[in-house]
Chain A
Amino acid sequence: MKITPAFIRNELKQVKDPEIPTISIVDLGIVTGIEVSEKNAVHITLTPTFAGCPALRMMEDMVKERLGKIENLGEITVKTSFETTWTTDLISDEGHAAIKQHGLAPPMRNCAHISMEILEATSCPYCDSNDTKMKSPFGPTLCRSLHYCNNCKQAFEGFKPV
């Protein structure tokens, strides 16, 4: 059986971000290359979300583990490369929904010129109010910021736009 990149991509949708288990690494936008050779050897390229993200190596291993379960697959290699720069704009619409489902505010789109003022306007993931306040651009993981919703009086975290 000939394995296609689309098939592999679909399999990788089952690999979830260990820190936000509702989102797949495909919807997160970190899978930047899927190559399948004549002999069904698979080469996956991932791009780091944050340079210091400790989940990166774990995700490489999770990719290998998932693909390792597929029959008829040749050698599996996973490489991390900065060739494609990850930004939060690479997160799919489905990914945005998954982030919200996890209780985090999804990142605003097209935030190449991010500022404190832009972050202040993050929508609350619980009540969708824009009447929120950013408490800190740094949260419990590198990709999160801390906010407070004045409307539903709830502290929440946001996925930082980068």
Chain B
Amino acid sequence: MNNIDALKELLYKMADDQLIIGHRNSEWNGLGPILEEDIAFSSMAQDKMGQSEHLYNLLNQLGEADADTVAFTRNAPQFHCSHLVELPIGGYDFSLIRHFLFDFAEYLRFEALKTSAYQPLAQVAKKFFGEVKYHTMHANTWVYQLGHGNEESNSKMQESLNFAWNYALGMFEPGPAEEMLINENIFIGEEALQAKWLEVVIPLLEKSNLVIPEQSSWAPIYGGRIGNHTAHLQPLLSEMTEVYSIDPSADW
């Protein structure tokens, strides 16, 4: 694997995570428990999808097909997203916990990439960093409130955290050429990112009155980065690409 392939692998997994979580967020459109939350998840969906498009554009500059083709014509085994983002939205407790775990990882990823030696990526990371900051603030506000709400809200959040934890660790599945990216100062690597993430999310979750699963039970769920996905991804893709499949030239 040469350094361009390594860079593409990094961009693909970031872009695919953004696109798929964006689609999942959009599923709250019209269903949010209160109007403000409906708007919040829809806004975050819009941010994520916009960010994914710009990442696909970077891939396009590296010789991959254009953003629409890449986003709408691949099947599940060709996607590089983590299992965490594929899971159905579930209840609001799960969607909030996933949002919290995912967005803090994104926030730290973009923070690290702001100084990437690959300038086009550093430039978009600077932009995305400022946007995702709002996503983390939103996530933390709600996790804190519901963690401290009452027994029912706390236990729902705790159960969702227990369920999501190993999926969240799966976000940091090591890539095949991380050393190359690290040596060339393109990216700090998944292991270093995970360490930063744990340092940030553990104290926040504890402040929210939630208990981190026992470390002996930690078992990251990998596979997404190499195209092995849950059964939930293909139905999502089929729904997302329905219009495109009927008329690839449709415009609005």
Contacts and interface: CB of A to CB of B under 8 A. Distances in A.
Interface string B112-130: 0000000010011011101
Given A51-B124, A82-B127, A86-B127, A138 B134 contact: yes
Given A48-B127, A116-B141, A160-B134, A137 B40 contact: yes
A127 B50 CA distance: 35
Contact of A142 (B47, B53, B120): B47
A152 interface: no
Nearest to B58: A82
Interface string A39-76: 00000000010111110000000000000000000000
Query: Would you call the interface of chain A mostly helix, strand, loop, or mixed?
Result: loop
A10 interface: no
Contacts of A138: 36, 39-40, 42-44, 134, 138
A83 interface: yes
B202 to A, nearest CB: 20
Nearest to B50: A52
Contact of B43 (A87, A116, A142): A142
A137 B127 contact: no
B182 to A, nearest CB: 24
Given A82-B126, A162-B130, A137 B138 contact: yes
Contacts of A82: 54, 120, 123-124, 126-127
Contact of B54 (A51, A54, A87, A116): A51
Contact of B133 (A53, A83, A114, A140): A114
A67 B17 CA distance: 39
Contacts of B138: 136-138
Interface in B7-51: 36-37, 39-40, 42-44, 46-51
A135 B48 CA distance: 22
B137 interface: yes
B137 A50 contact: no
A148 B133 CA distance: 22
B131 interface: yes
B36 A116 contact: no
Contacts of A87: 130
A92 interface: no
Contact of B39 (A51, A81, A85, A140): A140
A139 interface: yes
A48 B43 CA distance: 16
Nearest to A145: B134
Contacts of B133: 114, 162
Contacts of A136: 36-37, 39-40, 138
Contacts of A140: 39
A47 to B, nearest CB: 8
Nearest to A82: B123
A51 B40 contact: no
A137 B135 CA distance: 9
Interface in B49-99: 49-51, 53-54
Given A50-B50, A51-B47, 18 more contacts: A51-B131, A81-B123, A82-B123, A82-B124, A82-B126, A87-B130, A114-B137, A115-B137, A136-B39, A136-B40, A138-B36, A138-B39, A138-B40, A138-B134, A138-B138, A140-B39, A160-B134, A162-B131
7 contacts: A53-B50, A116-B137, A136-B36, A136-B138, A139-B39, A146-B36, A162-B134
Interface of A: 48, 50-54, 81-83, 85-87, 114-116, 135-140, 142, 146, 160, 162
